[in-house]
Chain A
Amino acid sequence: MIRIHVRRKTFGATEILRDIRLSIAPGERIAILGPSGVGKSTLLRIVAGVDTRYEGEVERPADVAIVFQEPTLLRWRSVLDNLLLTHRGLSREAALSMLERVGLGAKAGLFPGQLSLGQQRRVALARAFAGRPELLVMDEPYASLDPATADEMLSLTEELLDLVRPTLLLVTHARSEAERLGQRILRLEGSPATLVDDAPPEGRAAEGLSPPSPPSRS
């Protein structure tokens, strides 16, 4: 179970997040919607353990993977090395197999700069799933992609989610993405931002939402 309780997160004198409570069952897929600048990425970074300057507690598993808005690859290492260096226990065969799965088996020896943006994002996806993480956090991973490429990436993500079955926390401002990948959709809104259920009566705060049952693994 992943438990998130962010009492307060500030940047200087500005309070960004307040009283965010969320429990996520293993394997559950949560999508958080919200307008740009509301604090979605900030929340995600807190959950991923990147941002530790906040008031509150986060219980997360040891194996976490992240997909950023940008591919965030090691541009000076080959595509294959990008997987192997971030997962020391991963065999070369397993890394190549993951690259095959995202359609980049033939590009394993290239540098990321030799790939298109769409291909770089597929490498980022492959890297995230290669370590079979318990928790996967995705920060608007399809932003700035054309609709056809975004659709292709969403299909690939669905396929990999079904294969690896991590707990997913996705933040996006696109409802279609949230509906396609999320089993539960929440919204981050207000200033300071709080979490609310996406379709609750009168915008009931997400706190107190009963933890959903884990998804079926069949």
Chain B
Amino acid sequence: MRSDGVARFVSLGGILGLWIVAALVAADPLVLPAPWALVEPLRREIASGALPFHLSQTLLRVAWAFALAMALGIAIGLVMGTKPRIDRWFDPWLTVFLNLPALVLIVLCYLWIGLNETAAIMAVTLNKIPNVVIVIREGARALDPELSAMARVFRMSPIDRLRHVVLPQLAPYVAAAARGGVAVIWKVVLVVEFLGRSNGIGFKIHMHFQQFNVGMVLIYSLSFVAVMLAVEALLLRPWESRVRRWRAA
């Protein structure tokens, strides 16, 4: 576990090293500033409250879209994985939605619903649902039929079956979908904000892009990367090891 952490730390340090080398090679702070050149602007953005505000707005959208996409994706994936007839009918839908570019869904949601929060979250959610469905459907197909039979014979309630029989078997798939989901969702949220919101990291990146301010673009995007790494390290990984502790026992 400790060597795991060291490896992650060294690996992230490697990215920082590459950045420093690239900045030295570019030798132009307007194109690629060195990491230390961003410290003062970062401090200013934090002190003014701008960075925390935009970060929280994006985080809120990510949280909503993540929760909705996971809940709906797990439900649909479970049904499709356990009911072959429904799977046959809706599999083509899945293919269509999987191949629909995120940009198209975002633009359509804004056009149909308006430039508002509902459209933004719906666009991100619709983008992510098919990926969650695919992963959970595989998990549902791998559910142990003997355990289902046991639960039926012992007349476990539907809630107990879901909670104690089905979801623990799906946990590795839910974890995989969640980890991949967070990574994809926040990137799509940025595009959504870039195109049609007046706050959030995506909005700030759009603003600084127009000013060709590479430093600020890096500050806002890397701040959010740091937050997402923290979410993974402090929430997703501990949850994953908790649901997998019986395997290690």
Closest CB-CB distance, A175 to chain B, in whole Å? Answer: 26
Once A74-B164, A76-B168, A85-B164 are accepted as A-B contacts, the answer to whether A66 and B153 lie under 8 Å apart by CB is yes
Whether A68 touches B146, Cβ cut-off 8 Å, given contacts A86-B154, A86-B156, is yes
Q: Pick the contact of A74 from B147, B152, B247, B249 — CB < 8 Å?
A: B147
Residues of A within 8 A of B147 (CB): 72, 74
Assembled-state Cα–Cα distance A81/B246 (Å): 13
Against A, the Cβ 8 Å flags (1 = close, 0 = not) of B130-163 are: 0000000000000010110111111111001000
Which chain A positions have C-beta within 8 A of B171? 76
Range of interface residues on chain B?
20 to 34
Contact A85 B149 (CB under 8 A): no
Contacts of A86 in B (CB 8 A): 150-151, 154, 156
In whole angstroms, what is the CA distance A8 to B122 when docked? 51
Contact in complex: B249, A77 (CB < 8 Å):
no
Q: How distant is the Cα of A49 from the Cα of B156 in the complex, in angstroms?
A: 14
State the main secondary structure of chain B at its contact with A. helix
Q: Which residue of A lies closest to B151 (CB)?
A: A86
Q: Enumerate chain B residues within 8 angstroms of A137, measured Cβ to Cβ.
A: 153
Tell me which residues across on chain A come within 8 A of B154, comparing CB atoms.
65-66, 86-87, 127, 131
Q: How many residues of A contact B (CB 8 A)?
A: 27
* A40-81 interface bits toward B, Cβ cutoff 8 Å, 1 = contact, 0 = none: 000001001110000000000010111010101011110001
* 10 other A-B residue contacts (CB within 8 Å) besides A62-B155, A110-B249: A48-B153, A50-B153, A64-B153, A65-B153, A65-B154, A66-B149, A68-B149, A81-B164, A86-B151, A88-B157
Chain B residues with a Cβ under 8 A of chain A: 144, 146-147, 149-157, 160, 164-165, 168, 171, 243, 246-247, 249
